[in-house]
Amino acid sequence: MKRTTIRDVANAAGVGIVTVSRALNDQEGVSEETRQRIKAVAQQLDYQPNRHARYLKLTNNRSVAIMVKGMDNPLFGGMLEVIGREVREKQYSMKVVALQHWADELQEAMHTIDEDYVAGVIFLGARFRQRESRLPRLKVPYVVSTVSNYANDDATYCSVSVSDRDEARQVVERLLARGHRRIGILGSDMTDFSVGRLRLEGYLEAMHEAGIRVPREWIRSFAPDDDSPYSYAHGYRMTQDLLRVAPDVTAIFGIADVLAIGAMRAAREAGLQVPSDISIAGFDGIEVSRHVQPALATLAQPTEQIAKLTCQMLFSQIDGEKPRQILVPGHWVEGGTIAQPRGE
């Protein structure tokens, strides 16, 4: 017969495993009514406290997991430093789990919770293939960071990000305002439930509102089974492909700076001058975007603010507060890679 686990008790009682641990170990942070209900459920299921319960009692469960999609993305390096400082200030430890882009981060998070007994989870660069419907199964506080919501009104959903769709639309509107009509995009397609899809939607909305029909050739996306799609190399290869199938485009929007910087190299090798022959815009505002020549025009994310708010949201939930969805504004960095299209 399968042994009853702390997760079984949490599921039956409709609470998280941290709450179960606190209730069974008579710790603070649980109402007396909830404590008695959890103890009754544990007794009914014949739950026998094991190594997990003893560990939580000794350590008070002061550890959080950071699930990172795209560890090689320069955007996340600085954020992890800030998160690390915030976590240490709260006297918690931090476990960083590097995931391939197409891995099931929810399954990996549940495994980490069971194996390492973390008190909460932060997702960086998440991609939810089954959207957010399984998130409540985590049974611990969580925050989805740097990925805005898919019109999800679920009160249990917690996120901190820029509005990926709206900010992407504004990038394209800036290109349109300069006179560009043939604008290609590098990044993702509608099967990618992450920032890729949201930013693509922003691009399509801006083009539609401008009365421009977008041929399929203008949308270049990475392979669905690629392990590291957000890279300079992918931006380079996708731009080569774009210029081959749609040589008349006058501007390119890379949904991440690394893609846009890769596009700059491909454009130069094709004999095009940036921005006199072709304009290029990015999204993220990574540090290297200021050091390429010319400096990249990009929508910069306030990564330090997002990282700090992410930690604040996680620890407030651990302390019993309700989850929230927070959007922070990005800011435009003009750079030197955008100009009016030649001859128009």
283 and 227 in a single domain? The answer is yes
Q: How many domains does the chain have?
A: 3
Residues 6 or more apart from 105 whose CB is under 8 A from it?
67, 69, 99, 123, 126, 127, 128
Cis peptide bond N-terminal to 275, omega within 30: yes
On whether both 107 and 256 belong to a single domain, the answer is: no
Does 27 map to a domain? yes
271 CB-contact burial (10 Å; exposed 0-12 / middle 13-18 / buried 19+): exposed
pLDDT for res 56: 47
For the chain, the helix, strand and coil percentages under 3-state DSSP, each to the nearest 5 = 45, 15, 40
Any domain includes 334: no
CA within 13 Å, CB half, 302: 15
Sheet containing 219-221: order of strands: 219-221, 183-187, 251-254, 279-284, 297-300, 331-333
Residue 193 has φ and ψ, to the nearest 5°, of -85, 70
Same domain? For 15 and 142 the reply is no
What pLDDT is stored for residue 127 in this prediction?
67
Dihedral-angle region of residue 31 (phi above 0 means left; psi in -120 to 50 means alpha; beta otherwise): beta
Residue 53's pLDDT is what? 45
Residue 172 has a pLDDT of 98
SS3 at position 279 = strand
- 170 and 297 share one domain: yes
CATH number of the domain at 28, please.
1.10.260.40
CA-to-CA dists, residue 187 to 18, 111, 221, 248, 293, angstroms:
39, 30, 5, 19, 22
Splitting the chain (344 residues) into consecutive groups of 10 residues, what average pLDDT does each group show? 75 84 78 89 78 48 86 88 94 88 76 76 75 67 82 68 95 98 88 80 97 96 72 94 97 97 98 97 96 97 97 90 90 96 77
| One domain, residues 179 and 297 | yes
CATH code for the domain of 138: 3.40.50.2300
* pTM for the whole structure: 0.80
Tell me which residue range forms the domain holding 65: 61-162+303-329
Same domain for 197 and 296: yes
* pLDDT given for residue 130 in this prediction: 47
Q: What CA–CA distance (Å, rounded) separates 343 from 93?
A: 58
With respect to residue 338, please indicate whether it lies within any of the assigned structural domains.
no
Residue 116 placed within a domain: yes
Same domain, 96 and 119: yes
